[in-house]
Structure 1
Amino acid sequence: MNFSSRHHRPRRMPFRLSRVATAVGATISILSANPIYAADDAIVNELQAEIAKLKQALEKSQQELAAKKGDQPQTSSEGQATQPAAQPQQVAQEEEPAELGRVVVRSRNKLEALQDVPISISVVSGQELERFQARDLGSITQRVGNIQWNQGNARTSSISIRGLGQQAQTDAMDPSVGVTVDDVSYGYNPLSSFDFYDIEAVEVARGPQGTLRGKNSSMGAITLTTKRPTFESQSSYALTLGENNRVIGSAAIGGTVIDNVLAWRGAFMVDKGEGNYPNEYNRDFRFMNKDNVSGRVQFLLTPTENFNALVKLELTPKHEEYYNGWNFYTPTPSTYTDGTATRMGSDPSRRLARSWFRQRSDYSYTGNYLGENVNMNDQRPLVTSTWGSSAVLNWNVGDFTVSSITAYKNFTFQARNDEGTPFDITKNGGGLVTRHDQLSQEFRLSSSITDLVDYQAGLYFLSSRNNYSSRTGFGSDAGAWFASADQYTTLNRAINLDGTASAGSLLMQNSLSGLEHNTPQDIHSTSTAIYSQANWHINEPLTFTTGLRLTLENRKNSSEKSIVQQGTGAELNPYSVNGVLLGGYDATNLADPTQLALANGVAQKYFGEDYNDLSPAQIAQINAARAIRAQNIGIVYNKTEAETFRKLQPTLLLSPSYKFNDNLTGYVTLQYGEKAGLAQVVNGYDAKVKPEKTISYEAGIKSLLLDNTLTLNTNLYLTDIKDYQQRVLIFDAYGTAGDPNGDIQYTEATGNAAKVRSYGLEIDGVYTGIKHTTLRFAGAYNNAYYREFKNSPLPPEVNSNTYADPYRDVSGENLPGASKFSFNIGGDFRYPVFSNAEFHSSVNIAYRSRFNSAVNLSDYGWVDANTRVDFSIGLGRRDRKFDASIIVKNLFDDDTSVVRTWNSYVPAVPRWIGIMFTSDL
């Protein structure tokens, strides 16, 4: 940020500089005193440096004006120009309400008053997050209005703003809501799934972003700023002990390495504890445990007045946490919505009733599978890791600042999932990201503020490579589990009905035991952009902000599916699938000696006879086992390249704002953005996804009221999206080609819903009119719905046999995950006690009205309205040398489900209590 006294119209500059200086000066007071928006020493030092520059420029401009008018400025005894004596200021008494200053944000790459930013934006301070040990995005978003963290695993979780972007992410898809950490944008959603620590502030901007920096995003952006190195020695720690043997430790240390040249800051965080629900199969494993260690070191280099560099290294090593597959099961409804009986052949209640599984007398469907029980033999923890580095270089060149941001991020992931029972059914199945690499480079030019215009422009490049695979594996009980009722009856015999010997049990076991198939993807994406945003100062109250970005998106993807482990039943493979030979015999061509020899091998293995000597019952058993295997192998295909997605995509911002007075600003904003399409392979065929196009309109008022004790911002918005990316029912080229009747087949995959709309009202504010108290509040009415969506998958309660199409029209229905009403209230009370102590208490209340959690909008997917309250109370020294607090998360133990389906749900995280000790050493 570079201010200069040089300008085109000198007569007006002193007024503008004095207004900015006053605003930033007020900012320091509020940041230093306000517990909600408190900043660390780094930001205060930066602001003080900026004020010094402002004062110098102000004094010079006033001297120039005085010279033009013939006035002689007053001088001090040292001959320096002085200002008129300031009027005495009344010192606020302790019992008086605190006066608000201007909250500062960085979302536009410079420090500026929140009230001057003409978009909907919210701020949460790092101090507030620390008071509640709120480190993950789920906890952070509970403190901001109209934004939700949608729970999945590290790969599939997502962020939605204004009800948009809830759909679980795929590895080839851009995030709908961008995340930027210390000037580095994350182009891959899982990079934001880790805990954040040593945070200075979090800012949430709504609507399409991208004309200012980094990676563009179509719904909004979250900006996290960590605490920076300073030349003052700093050290602090926090230690929290709580339920479930939870230990959370964090510490930061830093200061000068070389006076005025090199400073550093190191921070680390450890979070370990048992989960809430044990796995009965092995009670040492508990779901929702924590096992996380992270560290970061930063170096600030300031060799000259006009250059500085910030270099950062960070690491979160591989760690294991149990939260994938955390489901509780409920009985499957007995009828469909049309009253017909539910087809229960593959339901767990029927499968677990088979004699194969009844041999274990201590486990049953009603006694163990249903309810709040977790008993899984092959569930494994999620294993994730990340590391990265970045270098941010800034040069002040005249009236400009030139910045270079170079960054690298890495991510790995492994999941191994179970079907929900202690039997050997699912084995080694799950997703695997062997490596995701993101390399980005950005060059940015920022001008100084002049009377006519200030602007920023930049070049951005991002390249990412992702190697993801989805593996499915089977155990020795899988054949009995996945067999249809008829197949199970055919195979589960000691002696066949015709009196011949039965090898059915062995055939059923070998049909799947040890089989594994894998579907790897090689995803390569590049994003190259040029962007610019300018603030045109038409006159003192009127500013017109314009922004434009052009991004060339290039997406490539290749995929294949193959058998990687044959297991014990390789001889039961199909002859071929999709033209790929799998080594089994061709039952339609046994006249071929080669095929007959393969068939004889199967017959000899299981019955000790040649194939032509088998009885019809024995052949039926072989056929049943082969059918089970073929059904679970599914499609196999050789490496297939998806059609490349390559397109130049624009982002646009137009926003006039009018400052009615120092405490009231109005604005109107038009934002347009596009989310890149996908290169995608489905069942061995190309299935490209169209880009998503978003246009957002917003009108708002930002005000400072009630003698500067109330900051109140409110806005109306309307967002329209064309070709919204989500899970849909698409044409299945493979299934259609192989259908014996020539019928068109469909399959679920990522695709496009034609038209989506979201509109509503948002309110955001801070109130300090009650002594010793600060209140932060945000709320929203939001209506997000499909304007046109005719190919939504059928929900499970619909009888597909009686439905005309395998899809339905849900136009007019609300989007999944979109609540109509939401609000959060944060309160902070601080009261001095004793000679050098302070009693303090904080609360955060987050409310969300009911919403449908099912992508297919199932009637069973509704999640009730819920309120979550976090609370803390403590006592500490005013100089922050020691503080002790009791933290209670989910104070009233709200048990509203997180996700619901028609026969399962994901439970809420129960109440948790801990005690936290902190100190600034």
Structure 2
Amino acid sequence: MKALTYRLLPGVALAALCGPFSAHASAAKSELAAEATEAEGQDGTQDTDPSRAQEIIVTAQRRSQSLQDVPVTVTVFGAEEIQDARIQQIGDVVTRTPGLAFDAYPATQPRLFIRGIGSSDRGAAGDPSTAVFLDEIYLGRPAAIAFDAFDVERIEVLKGPQGTLFGRNVVGGAINVITRRPELAGFDAGAEFTYGNFDRIEGAGYLNVPFANNTGAVRLSGAYRSHDGYTFNPYLGRSIDDQDTLSGRLQISGEPSDSFRFHLTVDGTRDRMTGPANHTLELDGSDPLSNFYTSNFDPDVTYGSTVGYQDRDTFGVRAEIQKDLGFGTLTFLGSYREVDYSSRYDLDGGNPDPTSPGYNDINIAGGDDETAELSSQELRLSSLPGSKLNWVVGFYHYSQTVERTNEMTLDAPVIAPFTITEIFDNVATLDSIAFFGDASIPITDKLSVFGGVRWTRDDKRSHVWNTRSLIPVRAEEFFDVTAEGSFDAVTWRAGVEFSPAPDHMLYASVSRGFKSGGFQDTPANADEAARPFLPETATQYEIGQKSSFWDRRIVWNNTLFYVDYTDLQTSQLVGGQFVVSNAGQARVQGYETQLVARPVDGLSLSASYAYTDAKFVDFVEGGTDYSGNRLSRAPEHKLTLSPSYTYRMASGVEITAAADYLYTSKIFDDNSNQPPELRGPSEYVDARLIIDGIADHWSLSIWAKNLTDERARTWQGTNLGANFGAFSPPRTYGATLRWQY
């Protein structure tokens, strides 16, 4: 029974891998044509020529720069595209960015992968390989990645190790969400309302009010989003996979003097969802337990014995204070966040055949409960805007306390004559400090060098026990273990950028990232609970080119990269249990290109392509050699195409028609690279028609996502004689009416 228990618990519940959602658009358009900030022309006036790609201002290097001048691979979504393309949550960002994927089972605990590198470990003593930052604040838990992208200025996706400039050291990459800050210049307001199929109802609005003679301002933003379930359950007589989300953000900014600024933020999100809707897919004929299941490949119907729920509440406060000292700017950035999360779900998805011996007689269920407190403080000194020599030095501190419970239940008389319940409780703490410095030094008008260094130390403590499990095994099978570990590293980056002519830039860089070790979330025994897995390190070599042609009517960027990973942390079912292992070595190499062309006024053609070759070089686990296998969740090819055309009427009304196409090649859901945990290629099409300038303040958007009703698998895992999985959302459509002051 022990073998059966560990084979199911927690292996089945956590063998959930990523897949595309139904919202897709061109990352090329995101990166090169999104209007993050309409920069001024060289003559000091605003550049509003519609035939040109708008200049995009980003802060990928902790200072404002044109995207075309940044020697880093960055994908950017600007405020206008976030609004028009209905980018609302992290999943919408993932599906629109080549090289980016995520494991979202369940959807309220997303785990991100950039260029094949990420972690599906949700353990209290683990860390993500790819991080999300909200206004520079690190969201250290998967359940903490809860925000609404309404009233957001831009979203930046940085690819590769981020070892010097950003708060927490990450190896895969970073997603930076930058909200719209209060505007001191004047009053502003806006609102929108959406209605769509599945009884979708959404409302959002913002209000900006200046005070103290325009030296301060308050900005209030909020959004409510709901829809009925995408999947019907005949067994329960109701639909599941619905949504009910409420989020809000209050900001206060002030500039009492030319040299002093402050910014305070309070935000929160409340999620209530049912599901997920799971299915029994392929049967394992070599396992006699497969006789108790019936396959269900209908993505619109599930037969689970419970509705399930995914409840999430997040709350955060943020404070930023800046003081110009004459030679530099001193910045303090502090934050505190809370996460309260709980989920329960039917893993097997039920049995649709009443004649099956396992009909209504198998219930494999799981769930998680988690509360977390996250806090950070950063003090940095940086060069003044416009300085010829750009530099930053600083100190960073991050602390985290997580209380987490993983529960799995097998209630199946046809398999076992008793109910098996396995519960792992874990309390983990993290205390991290870092010192960092980075600089960009001009050598000539055309040549610059850049580099930085960072020292990080993480102290972790894990207390894990399974004494609440209800399993008829020997008492010595239970354990209660406390373990501690410290992990430190020096990371760095170095590079050169060269501009042979205006509108053309070449760069080459080497960067090193680090992710600390940790402890197993659901260890099989006391020894495994006490033994940490090792830190992982990544060294990336990248060369790139960014160019604009024909007075910015064509923008074309290209990147070649090679990443060498040592002790890569990877999650794998080993001996019937789900554990984090260290692959001796892995490597990722590839090519990415982004092109935006505006051949005639009103017409925009965008394309983006990513080739990713991610493989294990040296990885043997449980007697199996995975060397040469592809990393899971790393599609080899990802292509996006986004044509759009805008017709400007004499009355001032603008009509824009746009479509987005996304192709993703096959994805392995397991390091073994064996079926059935293999997802075939997928194709998605979105479209929208936008009428702007109605009565000066109004616009109307008629939109559709997943027009072809593609139902790709979003995760799957094989155990107990069957492959269980879920599907992406169906075709959705609706209309959004907007008003702006």
TM-score (norm 1): 0.71
- Cα distance between partner residues in 2 of 1:282 and 1:836: 53
* 1:182 to 2:132 alignment: no
Aligned equivalent of 1:727:
571
CA apart distance, 1:896: 2.7
User: Structure 2: how far apart are the matches of 1:904 and 1:709?
Assistant: 48
Among residues 543, 558, 561, which one is paired with 1:714 in the alignment? 558
Indicate the residue corresponding to 2:323 in structure 1. 395
Counterpart residue number, 2:207: 253
- Separation in 2 of the partners of 1:192 and 1:747? 27
User: Where do residues 451-462 of structure 1 align in structure 2 (5 Å cutoff)?
Assistant: 453-462=389-398
Q: Percent identity?
A: 22
Q: Residues of 2 paired with 1:679 and 1:157: CA distance?
A: 20
Secondary structure in structure 1 of the residue aligned to 2:237: strand
Q: Report which of the two structures shows the higher radius of gyration computed on alpha carbons.
A: 1
Partner Cα distance (1:747, 1:108) in 2: 41
Whole-Å separation in 2 of the counterparts to 1:862 and 1:728: 15
Q: What's the counterpart of residue 625 of structure 1?
A: none
Shift of 1:229: 0.5
Compared with structure 1, are the counterparts of its residues 142 and 748 closer, same or farther at alpha carbon in structure 2 (3 Å cutoff)? closer
User: Which residue does 1:482 correspond to in 2?
Assistant: 415
Partner Cα separation in structure 1 for residue 123 and residue 537 of structure 2: 18
Greater relative contact order: 1 or 2 (C-alpha under 8 angstroms, separation 6 or more)? Answer: 2
- Does the aligned pair in 2 maintain the 1:898–1:906 contact within 8 Å? yes
Q: Secondary structure at the match of 1:190?
A: helix
List per-residue Cα deviations over 1:346-376 (Å, max 9, x = no partner): 33x33x7xxxxxxxxxxxx47x898864222
Q: Which residue of 2 aligns with 1:647?
A: 487
* AA partner of residue 660 (structure 2): N
The aligned residue for residue 280 of structure 1 is: 234
The aligned amino acid for 1:690 is L
Aligned position for 2:635: 819
Letter in 1 for 2:72: I
> Contact 2:33–2:54 (CA<8 Å) still a contact in 1?
no
Superposition deviation, residue 769 in structure 1:
2.6
3-state SS of paired residue (1:129): helix
What CA distance in whole angstroms lies between the structure 2 residues aligned with 1:377 and 1:729?
A: 26
Residue 161 of structure 1: CA displacement?
1.2
Alpha-carbon distance in structure 1 between the residues aligned to 2:667 and 2:32: 33
Tell which deviates more after alignment, 713-722 or 197-206. Answer: 197-206
- How far apart are the structure 2 equivalents of 1:479 and 1:850? 34
Bigger helix fraction: 1
Q: Which residue of 1 aligns with 2:349?
A: 420
CA pair 647-343 structure 1, distance change in 2 beyond 3 A: closer
**Is residue 216 of structure 2 the alignment partner of residue 262 of structure 1?**
yes
Amino acid at match of 1:640: V
8 Å contact kept, 2:33–2:56: no
CA distance change for structure 1 residues 862 and 263 in 2, over 3 Å: closer, same or farther? same
Per-residue CA deviation, residues 208-229 of structure 1 (Å, 9 max, x unaligned), is: 1031231121111111111110
Among residues 350, 353, 367, which one is paired with 1:430 in the alignment?
367
Could you say what secondary structure the match of 1:711 adopts?
A: strand
Separation in structure 1 between the aligned mates of residue 670 and residue 240 of structure 2, nearest angstrom: 23
Q: Tell me how far apart the structure 1 counterparts of residues 128 and 412 of structure 2 sit (CA, whole Å).
A: 39
2: distance between equivalents of 1:729 and 1:573?
23
Deviations 1:690-748 (A, max 9, x none): 00110000011111112321111101100010111112466xxxxxxxxxxxxxx8854
| Correspondence 1:833 to 2:649 | yes
- Which residue of structure 2 lines up, in the alignment, with residue 86 of structure 1? none
CA positional deviation for 1:332: 1.2
Q: CA deviation at 1:821?
A: 1.1
Higher strand share: 2
The AA in structure 2 aligned to 1:176 is S
Q: Does 1:783 align with 2:613?
A: yes
Say whether the 8 Å CA contact 2:163–2:514 is kept in structure 1. Answer: no
- In the alignment, which of 272, 281, 289 is matched to residue 330 of structure 1? 281
Cross-structure match for 2:11: none
Q: Which segments of 5 or more consecutive residues in structure 2 lack a partner in the other structure?
A: 1-30, 351-358
Distance 1:369 1:654, change over 3 A: closer
**How far off its partner does 1:450 sit?**
7.5
Equivalent position of 2:27 in the other structure: none
Q: Give the C-alpha shift of residue 451 in structure 1.
A: 7.3
In 1, the alpha carbon distance for the partners of 2:466 and 2:119 equals 29
State the AA in 2 paired with 1:389: V
Matched, 1:769 2:599: yes
1:130 aligns with 2:96: no
CA contact (8 A) 1:728 1:753 kept: no
Matched, 1:862 2:678: yes
In structure 2, the partner of 1:630 is none
Q: 1:591-630, aligned counterparts within 5 Å?
A: none
Q: Distance in 1 between matches of 2:361 and 2:343?
A: 17
Whole-Å separation in 2 of the counterparts to 1:167 and 1:275: 26
Using a 3 Å threshold, how does the CA distance of structure 1 residues 807 and 135 change in structure 2: closer, same or farther? farther
Post-superposition CA distance 1:732-783 (Å, at most 9, x none): xxxxxxxxxxxxx885411111111111111123322321123333211111
- Structure 1 residues 463 and 858: alpha-carbon distance in aligned structure 2, compared to 1, 3 A threshold: same
Which residue does the alignment assign to 1:496?
Answer: none
Residue of structure 1 equivalent to 2:18: none
Equivalent position SS for 2:508? strand
Match of 1:908 among 728, 736, 741: 728
SS in 2 for 1:139: helix
Aligned length: 693
Q: Secondary structure at the match of 1:480?
A: coil
Q: Give SS of 1:270's match.
A: strand
Are the aligned partners of 1:174 and 1:189 in contact in 2 as well (CA < 8 Å)? no
Q: Where does structure 1 lack aligned partners over 5 or more consecutive residues?
A: 1-33, 56-88, 335-341, 353-364, 484-507, 567-571, 579-634, 731-744, 792-805
Name the CA distance, whole Å, in 1 between partners of 2:404 and 2:696.
Answer: 47
- In the other structure, the counterpart of 1:683 is 525
Matched to 1:861, the amino acid is E
Q: Assess, with a 3 A threshold, how the Cα gap between structure 1 residues 415 and 305 changes in structure 2: closer, same or farther.
A: same
Give the direction of change, closer, same or farther, for the CA distance of 1:858–1:155 in structure 2 (3 Å limit): farther
1:447 to 383, 400, 404: 383
Change (3 A) 1:99 1:380: closer
How far is the alpha carbon of 1:97 from its aligned partner?
6.7
1:849 aligned onto 2:689: no
Written as runs of structure 1 = structure 2, the 5 A alignment for 1:531-680 is 531-563=436-468, 576-578=474-476, 635-637=477-479, 639-642=480-483, 644-680=484-520
* Aligned mates of 2:695, 2:100 — CA distance in 1: 35
Cα distance in 1 for partners of 2:580, 2:51 equals 52
- Residue number among 713, 738, 741 corresponding to 1:918 in the alignment: 738
Q: Distance in 2 between matches of 1:251 and 1:464?
A: 33
CA displacement 1:64-87 (0-9 Å, x = unmatched): xxxxxxxxxxxxxxxxxxxxxxxx
Instruction: Give the secondary-structure state (helix, strand or coil) at the position aligned to 2:401.
Output: strand
Amino acid at match of 2:462: N
SS of corresponding position for 1:415 = strand
Aligned equivalents of 2:32, 2:457: Cα separation in 1: 43
Contact residue 517 and residue 532 of structure 2 kept, 8 A? yes
Asked if residue 208 in structure 1 is aligned to residue 136 in structure 2, the reply is no
Q: Secondary structure at the match of 1:282?
A: coil
Residue 383 of structure 1 aligns with an amino acid whose one-letter code is D
Distance 1:904 1:697 in 2: 39
Distance 1:103 1:787, change over 3 A: same
Question: Amino acid of the residue matched to residue 722 of structure 1?
Answer: T
Q: Over aligned residue pairs, what C-alpha RMSD do you find?
A: 2.8
- Aligned pairs for 1:45-84 within 5 A: none
Change (3 A) 1:729 1:708: closer
Match of 2:427 in 1: 522
Write the distance in 2 (CA, Å) between the matches of 1:557 and 1:900: 29
Question: For the structure 1 residues 729 and 376, does the alpha-carbon distance in structure 2 shift closer, same or farther, using more than 3 Å as the test?
Answer: closer
Q: 1:657 deviation in Å?
A: 0.6
Contact 2:124–2:403 (8 Å) recurs in 1: no
> What corresponds to 1:343 in structure 2?
287
Q: Which residue of 1 aligns with 2:687?
A: 871
C-alpha distance in 2 between matches for 1:195 and 1:449 = 30
Deviations 1:570-591 (A, max 9, x none): xx966x510xxxxxxxxxxxxx
